[in-house]
Amino acid sequence: MAHILLIGAGFSRNWGGWLAAEAFEYLLGCKEIQDNPSLGILLWQHKESGGFEAALAAVQAQGRGYGKDELAALQAAVIRMFDDMNNGYLGLTNGLEFNSQVGFLVREMLVRFDAIFSLNQDLLLEYHYINDNISLCGARKWDAAYLPGVRRTQPAGMLYGPQARREVQWIVGDEHFERPLRQQPIYKLHGSTQWVDQNGSDLLVIGGAKTATISRTPLLGQYLRDFEARLSQPGARLMIIGYGFADGHINEIIQKTAQNGLRCFIIDPLGVDVANPTRNVPVRVANPMENLIIGASRRTLREIFSGDRVEYAKIMRFFEA
């Protein structure tokens, strides 16, 4: 039975990452936005309908008077936001861990998955998971974790420490990548900060037309196909942490693969309700995810892995046959 993990912004929130509403508030204070009042107005217009990504999509379309200068300004502010989050992660002295007890290590849960798929563009896992020796974790399942099809580069003379991690770049290859048997794959479905393509351009999938952008990037296209292939395995189990079900192309794959027996467990403050697109409608409407969900937790990873034995036992049932 395959065990797959899908994480969104709510996962990184446990270590200080910003959710969409917090990202909106961060961007309002950026110099790039304050110097372009029309961008501030646009952010407010989309506050309740898609947030900063919807605002970015409007600028990307270059309609209503928005041009290349406005697009460059908003993109620069978004990159600044990710940089500040990543700098914060560098200061996590205990890495991903909230507790020193072996039975409550976040890494001990992460190594149980056959693959990890992330919708996040931050570098939390690169700083505190991919670079760690996960072969020492209790499951002893993997020798290492890796980003499929992505090559790590680092300026000469920087061997270790926060500055070295900050200066790393990841060079994106094509869809024909090796799949080492004893290494855990981590797929960043929407690209990442510090990722550049063969032409040296940043590779971040944010804003509008995500499906079109992914289709133009062979590696990300393969990532999405791998996501569907893994969920299509008979009896596959998908744990979803901190994903708000706002990406149609992801939701479509999850619902499509349900016919093969896919079942999901959700960790989110809204519990099972986060997967219901009509949760704010007064009259109950059937949720297309209802037949897929086999449980949920409304507690944060910080709460669970700080020593919550009751909730920890519940989420560990996910890995039982």
Token pair recorded at residue 32: 């790039």
Instruction: Report the Cα 82 to chain-centroid distance in Å.
Output: 13
Residues 83 and 104 in one domain: no
Show which of 39, 72, 90 is a domain's final residue: 90
CB-based contact 296:271 (threshold 8 Å): yes
Residues 212 and 274 in one domain: yes
Q: Is residue 162 part of a domain?
A: no
**3-state SS class at 51:** helix
Residues 233 and 106 in one domain: yes
Q: What is the distance between the alpha carbons of residues 217 and 198, in angstroms, rounded to a whole number?
A: 11
Quick one: which of 37, 46, 30, 31 has its CA closest to 207? 46
Residues 293 and 189 in one domain: yes
Amino acid at 36: N
Q: Is residue 141 part of a domain?
A: yes
CB atoms within 10 A of CB 27: 23
Structural domain boundaries, residue 117:
3-15+99-149+183-193+206-319
Domain count along the chain: 2
Residues 83 and 110 in one domain: no
Per-residue pLDDT for the chain (321 aa), expressed as one digit of tens each?
899 999 999 999 999 999 988 998 999 999 999 998 888 988 998 888 778 888 887 887 765 566 778 888 888 898 899 999 999 999 898 999 998 887 889 999 999 999 999 999 999 999 899 866 776 676 668 888 989 988 877 655 544 555 556 666 667 777 777 888 889 999 999 888 877 776 666 666 666 667 777 777 888 889 999 999 999 999 999 999 999 998 888 999 999 998 889 999 999 999 999 988 766 656 566 667 788 999 999 999 999 999 999 999 999 999 986
Residues 83 and 9 in one domain: no
Q: Is residue 288 part of a domain?
A: yes
Q: Is residue 200 part of a domain?
A: no
Residues 10 and 24 in one domain: no
Q: What is the DSSP string of 127-195?
A: IIIITS-GGGSTT---SEEE-TTEEEE--TT--SSHHHHHH-EEEE--S-----TTEEEEEETTEEEEE
Token pair recorded at residue 129: 């998971």
Q: Is residue 234 part of a domain?
A: yes
Token pair recorded at residue 212: 């079109």
Residues 115 and 216 in one domain: yes
Q: What is the distance between the alpha carbons of residues 177 and 28, in angstroms, rounded to a whole number?
A: 40
Token pair recorded at residue 260: 């093969």
Residues 71 and 107 in one domain: no
Residues 262 and 283 in one domain: yes
Q: Is residue 296 part of a domain?
A: yes
CATH code of the domain in which 309 resides = 3.40.50.1220
- pTM equals 0.89
Per-residue confidence (pLDDT) for residue 209, from 0 to 100: 62
Q: What are phi and psi of 6, to 5 degrees?
A: -120, 125
Q: Is residue 166 part of a domain?
A: no
CB-based contact 26:138 (threshold 8 Å): no
Residues 145 and 243 in one domain: yes
Residues 289 and 236 in one domain: yes
Show which of 90, 117, 135 is a domain's final residue: 90
Which DSSP category does 242 fall into?
S
Token pair recorded at residue 15: 């270590």
Q: Is residue 199 part of a domain?
A: no
Show which of 73, 90, 107 is a domain's final residue: 90
